[in-house]
Amino acid sequence: MSGTLTLRPWRLEHDEQPPIIDMLDRVNRERGHFRDVLDSSLQEEIATTGALQLSDSEDEQEEIEAPATDGGLIYPSSREDLYRAKFDMLQKVSLAHNEVMMALDFISLLESKDSPAGKQTMSQFLRENVSAGTLGTDIWQRMPKDTAREAQDASLAYNVRMEALQKSADSILGAAKALEKSVKKETRYWNEILSVTEAGWNVCRLPGQRHKLGVRFGLSESSPEFSRGGIAALTADEDGAVSLDRGVEVRSRSVRVTIRQGREIIGCSKPVSIAGDGDAALEASIKHARDALFDEELFRELEREGRSLLALGVRQKSNTIAFPLLDGDSLLTLQFELLSRHEAAIETYAGSTSMSTLAQGTLCAAKLLLCQAHREQLERRSAIPAPISQARTERPLLRILRPLLALTQHRHSIQVLNDRFKILERVLQQAGVETKLQLADLRTTLSDMMDSATTLIDSLVAERSVEVVIELCPPGVLQTRRVAVRITSSVAPECETSFFLVATNVRDLHAGSIALAMIELDRVLANQLAKALAESSEQPWYVDDVDADLSREGLGITGVKDVQVVINGQTNVLDFTSSSFSRRWTLTEESETSIWQVWKELV
């Protein structure tokens, strides 16, 4: 403590004046020997340190009765304040006593090493827990001053400080470079993300991983297993370049259409090309992921539909769906194959351009039909829902293979009938019959229905009809005879192709197959030629509509009774026979006599 002040309790009123011995003892403890207590020293102490002035008992009594203010001491005014002051004083005295006793124990323990008498002043607690003489002291002599070592230490300290400063500078530069690299990385990352957004793709947070961004490329109207897989993460590498991460188990596959003759590929759709750098590469990878998901959905829908079309020749094996494709007299096979992008790109073939065009067109048509199915699903979902019922709603089969099968059958029928009509025209021309031929063209039929994208897709599933027409032009002013075969192909309710024969003054005939249609075509054409011959004669003739026989039996006319006209498009001949006469016209033999001349000579 800086000041010397003794503490004593408040004086009671009935206390007597303290003995002089106590006062002298107190002054001795406060000021020392009386030799040092001078008037001048007391005045100086009062002026410099502001020491407390001793007061008489009367002054103290006045101070008790009238508490001082304006910076003076505040005396207790009640018994509670007095007890509170007493408690504070006892607490501070106890704390001081404890510190003194601890200091005494420390000195006693230190002295007990050299003098046993030190143990006597140790407290009971210290004697029970610490053995005497366990604490000692020693005096060390101050080392002589080493100027060289101090200089060396100063130099080392300077070098250490410089090294620390250099490390700090390097650390700051490294942090600046790391920050610059991070800024470049973030700038490149967000620029590529922005380019993806500006391209029209939906950038969103990944489900379950809110700290990662992804892009949605799937179609909302796809089946659930494919719509859920239409999202991939956009991950950045060390340079900030963004790449598409679809996962470890996801493989990029595409659908390829091939046309085979036996085991040889004679036509193939175009492989998918992968190209692009920078932002274009990212957008290209998103497009390829979308196309791969779309192709997988297309193939799975073809598999579902193909299981119900086994009667039409659809066969499935592993990742291949095949059905027969007739091209003239050749039996070909059209296959849908689900291959990886790498396999589809490296496999080569030697095929014709027309077959490759057909394969590419088939693939495009299948994709358009799947898009149409998605559009119809969106329309159904946007419409007013049906009443709630307990019946389970099953997902319907999409119409993709059936329109393609109907289209290929329609194309084959047109090819076969066009070839047959060309042969019949040449045979009739060999016999001197003038004809007008109007062939059917599938491209013309479809082009009339392609006013817009919607009508283009609708034309693939709509019923289509086309006619192959041949007109017989007899000499003179005789009536022109018209023979046509109407080919009608439909998808709903079943995939089928129908044939109708239309001729002059003859009711329409229905043929269930193309073979029956060609047989009926030969008969009807022969019948029309027979009617033209009968009209050119001045004498009446009866024509049988079934066998194309010209007869005068029952008409009362003598002479030739029966003449038959037979046309065989399979053997390419025209026979004109009677009971006593026969004449044949073929493609290989030139004839100078026409059927009209033979008929005139005969009648």
pLDDT level of residue 25 (50, 70, 90 thresholds):
confident
Weakest mean pLDDT among 75-89, 90-104, 577-591: 577-591
Weakest mean pLDDT among 50-59, 158-167, 278-287, 338-347: 50-59
Tens digits of per-residue pLDDT, 295-328?
Answer: 999 999 999 999 988 888 899 988 899 998 876 5
Percentage of the chain lying above the pLDDT 90 cut: 21
pLDDT level of residue 169 (50, 70, 90 thresholds):
very high
Weakest mean pLDDT among 5-19, 149-163, 201-215, 446-460: 5-19
Task: Kindly list the distances between the CA atom of residue 351 and the CA atoms of 264, 269, 311, 320, in Å, as whole numbers in the listed order.
Answer: 9, 11, 29, 20
Question: Is 251 a residue whose pLDDT tops 80?
Answer: no
The helix (H) or strand (E) run that includes residue 422 is helix 401-430
Tell me how far apart the alpha carbons of residues 544 and 351 are, in angstroms, rounded to a whole number: 51
Q: What is the pLDDT of residue 21?
A: 73
Q: What pTM, to 2 d.p., does this model score?
A: 0.64
| Contact yes or no for 506/521 (Cβ under 8 A) | no
pLDDT level of residue 70 (50, 70, 90 thresholds):
very low
Tens digits of per-residue pLDDT, 428-454?
Answer: 988 888 889 998 887 655 555 556 667
Q: What is the pLDDT of residue 478?
A: 67
Mean per-residue pLDDT for 414-424? Answer: 90
Tell me how far apart the alpha carbons of residues 490 and 465 are, in angstroms, rounded to a whole number: 9
| Contact yes or no for 247/339 (Cβ under 8 A) | no
Q: What HEC string does 492-540 produce?
A: CCCCEEEEEEEECCEEEEEECCHHHHHHHHHHHHHHHHHHHHHHHCCCC
Tell me how far apart the alpha carbons of residues 304 and 443 are, in angstroms, rounded to a whole number: 30
pLDDT level of residue 61 (50, 70, 90 thresholds):
very low
Weakest mean pLDDT among 13-22, 117-126, 145-154, 312-321: 13-22
Tens digits of per-residue pLDDT, 97-126?
Answer: 999 999 999 999 999 988 888 888 899 999
Weakest mean pLDDT among 65-74, 371-380, 572-581: 65-74
Question: Is 499 a residue whose pLDDT tops 50?
Answer: yes
Q: What is the pLDDT of residue 345?
A: 61
Burial state string for 280-318 with b = 16 or more CB within 10 A and e = fewer than 16: ebbbbbbbbbbbbbbbbbbbebbebbbeebeebebeeee
Q: What is the pLDDT of residue 559?
A: 47
Burial class (CB in 10 A: 0-12, 13-18, 19+), 499: buried
| Contact yes or no for 554/504 (Cβ under 8 A) | no
**Token pair of 380 as six digits:** 């159904």
Q: What is the pLDDT of residue 562?
A: 77
Weakest mean pLDDT among 45-59, 367-381, 385-399, 484-498: 45-59
Q: What is the pLDDT of residue 279?
A: 54
pLDDT level of residue 68 (50, 70, 90 thresholds):
very low
Give the residue with greater pLDDT, 573 vs 343: 573
What does pLDDT average to over the chain?
82
Tell me how far apart the alpha carbons of residues 302 and 321 are, in angstroms, rounded to a whole number: 8
Taking CA 587 as the corner, what is the angle to CA 582 and CA 592, rounded to the nearest 5 degrees?
Answer: 60
Question: Is 379 a residue whose pLDDT tops 90?
Answer: no
Question: Is 57 a residue whose pLDDT tops 50?
Answer: no
Weakest mean pLDDT among 57-66, 187-196, 405-414, 571-580: 57-66
Q: What is the pLDDT of residue 64?
A: 45
**Amino acid making up residue 293:** L
pLDDT level of residue 274 (50, 70, 90 thresholds):
low
| Residue spans per domain, the chain | 1-57, 76-135, 198-377, 401-602
The set of residues, in sequence order, having a beta carbon less than 8 Å from that of 242 and lying 6+ positions away, is: 189, 192, 193, 196, 234, 235, 236, 282
Q: Where are the alpha helices (DSSP H) in 199-247?
A: 224-227
Q: What is the pLDDT of residue 78?
A: 86
Count of beta carbons in the 10 Å neighbourhood of residue 98: 10
Q: What is the pLDDT of residue 444?
A: 58
Tens digits of per-residue pLDDT, 210-230?
Answer: 788 999 988 888 887 888 888
Residue among 390, 392, 420, 575 at smallest CA distance from 511: 420
pLDDT level of residue 51 (50, 70, 90 thresholds):
very low
Question: Is 32 a residue whose pLDDT tops 80?
Answer: no
